[in-house]
Amino acid sequence: MTPPRQTRAQRLAMRLARDVVRDLAVEHGGGVRPVQLRRTDLDTGQIEQVLVPCGHTLASVCPSCAERAKTLRAAQCREGWHLDTEPAITPDDPDDEQRMWIEQRAKTQQRRDHADATGRDTTELDELAGDLDEQIARSGVRGHVLPARPARRHRSTRRRQDTPDLPRRPIEPRTIGKTYTTPDGKTFRPSMFITLTCDSYGAVTGDGTPADPSTYDYQRAARDALHFAALFGRFIQNLRRFLGYDIQYFAAVEPQRRVAPHVHTAVRGTLSRTELRQVLAATYHQVWWPRADIVRFGEGNLPVWHEASGCYVDPATGEFLPTRDQALDAIGPDDVPLHVARFGPKFDAQGVLAGSRGAARCIGYLTKYLTKHIGACHQPTTDAQHAHAERLADALRYELCSPTCANWLRYGIQPKNPRDGLRPGRCKGQAHRRECLGYAGRRVLVSRKWSGKTLADHRADRKAWLLATLGITEPDPSRYTWEPVTHGDSDHMPPARRMLHVVADRITWQQALDEARRRADGHSPPDLSATGTAA
């Protein structure tokens, strides 16, 4: 039978089949960017295609993976916050999965370097290497296979005279806070939830926009955001020296309505508000970078790339611009730092007891925005909010995001590791991107001895729980070898086909889990028509 004729408008109003598949996958908790692996059973020689989740943390990229990542972070936060025994930190031997990813990474590097040496395009192999790096990190290996940046140059650490000194205690190797005992013999070990904010850049109204945009200090706002992670690091260092033990933290960086970063921090152990105020007053981060106040080369007058020497030259005189090291050496004893970042005087601190309602609420705050990009936490809706975000983006455009920033050229200095094509105002550094609001650091900052487990350990805990619930014993992992399946392979599954498999896999898996739960509860399966889980 031929289907009835439809108008173009009617056809356009119909959902696209692929979108429905994607939505179904999300509804069932499946990832929308699965990675295809080829699994070979060494005993039987049988080859199977396995789709593993991408593991992305942003809901805009993969809602299911982002939600799982958030749940995992909440578990990590909860487990570490009120530990009453010192976590044991001994790195495990790499497991087969970790070994497999690193072997793949090594092969990719070799192919990439070979391609590079023979003058071929390395873009695709670089992308593959990037993906593999993500998988390596996800599998629970610390650090990177290649150094991200070479050793840091020694910088001046002159103390500021305008800042109170902090009493310093030697840091004991313990990470557990004090225990308190009530007169009737009950002991408890409280911990803290602390929120630190940036300073004021000018009065703001209820919607987070400046009362007077012309006097709002956008430059300081931009620089504080750029160096926020370093400032937080300084705060923790001071806190440890002041309290005299290796205090541990789980922190989440988020924007406030005025689009300045603030940080929610769960710390193990307590301190008084007075002590906290003291530590904050003594905490600052000095940015000892070459001065960048005077624009030496504006649009139409930009330094020129000199291929033979691999650096930039003055367009008028042809002289080499000073290198970053030369500019750093030129900083004299009477110079001031490019920027001094400090927290604002406003902070929030509360004691939190293990397992309390307060603890659950704070963990909610800490993980609330983790699935969103920092710039998407507060979407501007009014004209004033749009204009405010615009002005901050403008201020960030010519700020220096890092030693390699293209904007150094504007101030007459070679960026670190210079290359052709750098243009001030078009730096590719993440911090300049609108959605970063100047903060390009990690959203979750967790100290090493927080829960004594890596995220991969927490993930493994969850998996073990699931397998136990389902009554499945995992086959011996040494029975299999794993390989990523790439584009040119004959068994490569195109994305649309992968999605169909994800939907089918998730439905089977969920039914098995529901069934197992019902068995565990001692209930017989209810009438299927009443469960309403059909899509």
Please report which residue ranges of 368-474 form alpha helices under DSSP H.
383-397, 455-470
User: Which residue lies nearer to Zn ion by CB, 61 or 311?
Assistant: 61
Candidates 52-60, 158-166, 469-477, 522-530; binding stretch for Zn ion (CB under 5 A): 52-60
Min separation Cβ 407 and Zn ion, Å? 5
Partners of 194 in the β-ladder: 265, 349
The terminus-to-terminus CA distance of the chain in angstroms comes to: 27
CA–CA distance, 400 with 122 (Å, rounded to integer): 29
User: Which residue lies nearer to Zn ion by CB, 28 or 240?
Assistant: 28
Candidates 53-61, 149-157, 383-391, 488-496; binding stretch for Zn ion (CB under 5 A): 53-61
Candidates 54-62, 141-149, 417-425, 504-512; binding stretch for Zn ion (CB under 5 A): 54-62
Min separation Cβ 65 and Zn ion, Å? 3
Binding to Zn ion (CB under 5 A): which residues in 178-207?
A: none
Q: Which of 25, 59, 62, 136 binds Zn ion (CB under 5 A)?
A: 62
Total number of residues that touch Zn ion (CB under 5 A) = 10
CA–CA distance, 285 with 160 (Å, rounded to integer): 10
Q: Which of 54, 129, 389, 413 binds Zn ion (CB under 5 A)?
A: 54
Min separation Cβ 293 and Zn ion, Å? 17
Would you mind telling me the total number of residues written for the chain in this entry?
A: 535
User: Which residue lies nearer to Zn ion by CB, 222 or 444?
Assistant: 222
Tokens of 197: 């904010």
* Residue type (1 letter), 91: P
Candidates 62-70, 236-244, 279-287, 458-466; binding stretch for Zn ion (CB under 5 A): 62-70
Candidates 56-64, 92-100, 194-202, 408-416; binding stretch for Zn ion (CB under 5 A): 56-64
Instruction: For residue 522, count CB atoms less than 10 angstroms from its CB and return exposed for 0-12, middle for 13-18, buried for 19 or more.
Output: exposed
Per the CB < 8 A criterion, the answer to whether 205 and 382 are in contact is no
Per the CB < 8 A criterion, the answer to whether 226 and 233 are in contact is no
Min separation Cβ 408 and Zn ion, Å? 9
Helix axes 63-81, 17-27, angle to 10 degrees: 20
User: Which residue lies nearer to Zn ion by CB, 283 or 404?
Assistant: 404
Min separation Cβ 530 and Zn ion, Å? 32
Q: Which of 26, 51, 59, 65 binds Zn ion (CB under 5 A)?
A: 65
Q: Which of 31, 63, 140, 177 binds Zn ion (CB under 5 A)?
A: 31
CA–CA distance, 233 with 166 (Å, rounded to integer): 16
Candidates 6-14, 27-35, 252-260, 474-482; binding stretch for Zn ion (CB under 5 A): 27-35
CA–CA distance, 391 with 375 (Å, rounded to integer): 14
Min separation Cβ 34 and Zn ion, Å? 7
User: Which residue lies nearer to Zn ion by CB, 346 or 442?
Assistant: 442
- Pairing status of strand 304-306 against strand 311-313: antiparallel
Min separation Cβ 197 and Zn ion, Å? 25
Tokens of 198: 């940036």
Min separation Cβ 56 and Zn ion, Å? 5
User: Which residue lies nearer to Zn ion by CB, 54 or 279?
Assistant: 54
For 275, other C-beta atoms within 10 Å of its C-beta total 14
Min separation Cβ 244 and Zn ion, Å? 39
Q: Nearest 10 degrees: CA dihedral of 205, 210, 215, 219?
A: 140
Q: Which of 53, 303, 403, 415 binds Zn ion (CB under 5 A)?
A: 53
Instruction: For residue 500, count CB atoms less than 10 angstroms from its CB and return exposed for 0-12, middle for 13-18, buried for 19 or more.
Output: middle
Per the CB < 8 A criterion, the answer to whether 321 and 305 are in contact is no
Site string for Zn ion, 393-432 (x = CB under 5 A): --------x---x---------------------x-x---
Candidates 8-16, 50-58, 209-217, 244-252; binding stretch for Zn ion (CB under 5 A): 50-58
Angle at 152 between CA 149 and CA 154, to 5 degrees: 170
Q: Diameter of the chain by CA atoms?
A: 89
Binding to Zn ion (CB under 5 A): which residues in 98-137?
A: none
Q: Which of 160, 158, 153, 157 is nearest to 328 (CA)?
A: 153
CA–CA distance, 533 with 238 (Å, rounded to integer): 53
DSSP state letter for 48: E
Min separation Cβ 363 and Zn ion, Å? 23
Candidates 18-26, 55-63, 112-120, 353-361; binding stretch for Zn ion (CB under 5 A): 55-63
Interface residues with Zn ion (CB under 5 A)?
31, 33, 53-54, 62, 65, 401, 405, 427, 429
